[in-house]
Amino acid sequence: MSSSVKIPNHIAFIMDGNGRWAQHQNKPRTFGHKKGVESLRNIVTYCQKIGVKHVSAYAFSTENWNRSKVEVSFLINLIFSQIEIEISNFMKNNVKVLVIGNRSTLSKTLQKSFDRLEAKTSQNDGIQLNLLFNYGSRNEIIHACQNYAQDFQKNPNLIMDESLFNDYLLTKTIPDPDIMIRTSGEQRLSNFLLWQLSYSELFFVDTLWPDFKNEHLDDVINQFNNRDRRFGGH
């Protein structure tokens, strides 16, 4: 990538197409999820190299519980085992990790694993990886409203505005994404960061997530550089 290219600060990914990728090779869908982890590892490394500061990755939605029991437990076991495997790489590569989503309904073991991952990597500052797990934007917004209502009862001077609302979101410490990329050709948000993506540049690419490589990201960043972000101005 040439040095004059503007590198986005925050890229958010809807990592879609793992199941189809596996099915195309007559393999079980779970095989695609395993391969998807490799894609994410590679993309985070590449993003760090080119100077991206935040990568957000949609790993499990609040709607993904509707999948078969086998697939759901595979995905839950996969994140658990990957955290154990990757934690030393995150330390070596200076990656800070945050897990964003509704944790209260997950097992205590998984909650502890998320806590440990975040605590251990909290001082790293090479790049921040936000893993969206058991995340749904509507759920996040409802919780924000509930928490605000409680605080308001205690303090009626607490006036709601955009900045205060942001503080009630799970992403409160994270800047809004500059770019959102969804792989696999689907053109929808599937309950991903509805508030936060208000002014992001959206890219829908046909490549399936396990096939998504550095050159696909280069292509998106080049297109991003040719877009005119007006934020409502002229």
Cα separation, 41 vs 36, whole angstroms: 9
133 binds ligand IPE (CB under 6 A): no
The reply to whether 9 belongs to the active site is: no
Residue 64 is among the residues annotated as catalytic for this protein? yes
Taking the complex as a whole, the smallest distance from the CB of residue 186 to ligand IPE amounts, in Å, to 5
Please identify which residue in the block is written with the tokens 């955290």: 83
DSSP characters for 85-154? HHHHHHHHTTEEEEEES--TTS-HHHHHHHHHHHHHHTT--SEEEEEEEEE-HHHHHHHHHHHHHHHHHH
Site track 56-75 with ligand IPE (rule: CB under 6 A), x = hit: --xxxx--x----------x
Span of 115-123, 183-191, 196-204, 212-220 interacting with ligand IPE by CB under 6 A: 183-191
Query: Which residue's CB atom is positioned nearest to ligand IPE?
Result: 19
Read off the amino acid at residue 229: R
Q: Among 14, 98, 110, 179, which residue interacts with ligand IPE (rule: CB under 6 A)?
A: 14
DSSP 186-226: --S-TTS-TTTTTTPEEEE-SS-GGG--HHHHHHHHHHHHT
> How many residues make contact with ligand IPE (CB under 6 A)?
17
Q: Which residue out of 18, 64, 130, 134 is catalytically annotated?
A: 64
Interface residues toward ligand IPE, by CB under 6 A = 14-20, 58-61, 64, 75, 184, 186, 188, 190
